[in-house]
Structure 1
Amino acid sequence: MDLQAQIQSLINSAPQDGVTPLLVESIAPGLRALAEKLSHSQYYILQNMHKEWVLTTLSNRTNPKQEKRVVYAFPTSKDVSIESEMASDPSMIAAPTPVVHILFQLIALEPVDSIVFFETPGTTQNAIEIKRLELQKLVQQTLEQKNSVNRIPPDIA
């Protein structure tokens, strides 16, 4: 599924409350820009039976008390089974997920600090990390720009 179709899918599946589809449409350019930096249109995310993404907690080597929680996004289902010990657990599945949907989910995933996208099948050497706070900042800037364009200047008369 191409990026525009993924964005349209997000808009269509958003609650039809008169606000959410417009919000998704507003932030779509930012999501698209990030997705275009990645190599694949979909990634595989390890999930439990309840469709919750599996988090991995990483510790800083020089400061073990400094931790971050990440979700790994793999380019193929085979890479999930190679890289994650949990993939052999029958209660876990490697779910193919459109890249735009992953980015959109990251905006609100409070316990997640970032998503690590592995770009090259068969290796974890080539990865791109997208931090939740940076994505939230991008979304905020996009919304602020859109609001400033839609505002009527006070001295219009």
Structure 2
Amino acid sequence: MTLDNQITDLIQNTPSHLINPDAVAAIAPVLKAIAVQLQHPQYYILQNLEQSWVMTTLTNRTQPAARKNVVYAYPTLQDAAASQATIKDPQVMALPVPVINILFQLLAMKPIDSLIFCEVPGQQGQGIEVRRQDLEALVQAQLTQTQAPPTPSDIA
């Protein structure tokens, strides 16, 4: 599914009682701008039986108090299956999720600090980090820009 198809699907299938479809359409350019920098149209996300995404807490070796919660997005089912979380817990499964949906979900997942997109199959140690804080700032800037009042044409 192309990114444009994913955006259309997201706009059409987002429950209107939770978020206005016009708001989803307004932030779509931000989601697409990030998604085009990634290599895959979908990634495998580890989920538990309740379909909650599996979160990993990372700590800094030199600063043990510095922690962040991340979700890994794997390029293939094999990479997801080889992750430590699936090896430790047989109730964890990997499901494919369109990249636009992954980015959109990040906005609502307050405990998660970042998504780590593993881009190269077989190389789980390398990836592209998308921080929720950065995504929120881009979305807020986009919403501010789209809601700005039009400039009067008779300014002299």
Using structure 1 for the length normalisation, give the TM-score: 0.91
Partner of 2:26: 26
Write the deviation string for residues 35-84 of structure 1: whole angstroms up to 9, x where unpaired. 00000000000000111000000001110011000000000010012122
Question: In the aligned structure 2, how far is the partner of 1:126 from the partner of 1:6?
Answer: 26
User: Secondary structure of 2:94's match?
Assistant: strand
Which has more helix, going by share of residues? Answer: 1
Structure 1: stretches of 5+ with no match in the other structure: none
Matches within 5 A, 1:27-46: 27-46=27-46
Secondary structure of 2:22's match?
Answer: helix
> Unaligned stretches of 5+ in structure 2?
none
Q: Is the 8 A contact 2:86 2:93 kept in 1?
A: no
1:54 partner SS? coil
Amino acid at match of 1:98: P
Contact in 1 for aligned 2:85/2:92 (Cα 8 Å): no
101-110 or 15-24, larger mean C-alpha shift: 15-24
Query: Is the contact made by 1:87 and 1:93 (CA closer than 8 Å) also made in structure 2?
Result: no
> In the superposition, relative to structure 1, how do residues 143 and 44 fare at CA in structure 2: closer, same or farther (>3 Å)?
same
Partner of 1:140: 140
Q: Deviations over 1:10-31 (max 9, x none)?
A: 1011123596110000000010
Q: Which residue of 1 aligns with 2:107?
A: 107
Q: Which residue of 2 aligns with 1:5?
A: 5
Change in 2 beyond 3 A, CA 1:18/1:76: closer
What is the distance in 1 between the residues matched to 2:69 and 2:79? Answer: 20
| Bigger mean CA deviation after superposition, 137-146 or 82-91 | 82-91
Does residue 1:91 correspond to 2:88, yes or no? no
Relative to structure 2, which stretch is displaced further, 91-100 or 76-85? 76-85
**Is this contact kept in 2: 1:81–1:88, CA < 8 A?**
no
**Does the residue aligned with 2:35 lie in a helix, a strand or coil?**
helix
Conserved 8 A contact 1:46-1:87: no
Single out whichever of 10-19 and 76-85 deviates more from structure 2. Answer: 10-19
Query: What is the TM-score of this pair, normalised by structure 2?
Result: 0.92
Q: What per-residue deviation string (whole Å, max 9, x for no partner) do you get for residues 117-153 of structure 1? A: 00000112431000000000000000111111xx144
Distance 1:93 1:156 in 2: 60
Match of 1:54 in 2: 54
Aligned partner of 1:66 in structure 2 is 66
Letter in 1 for 2:3: L
How many residue pairs are counted as aligned between the two chains?
155
The one-letter amino acid of 2:23's match is L
Aligned-partner residue type, residue 118 of structure 2 = F
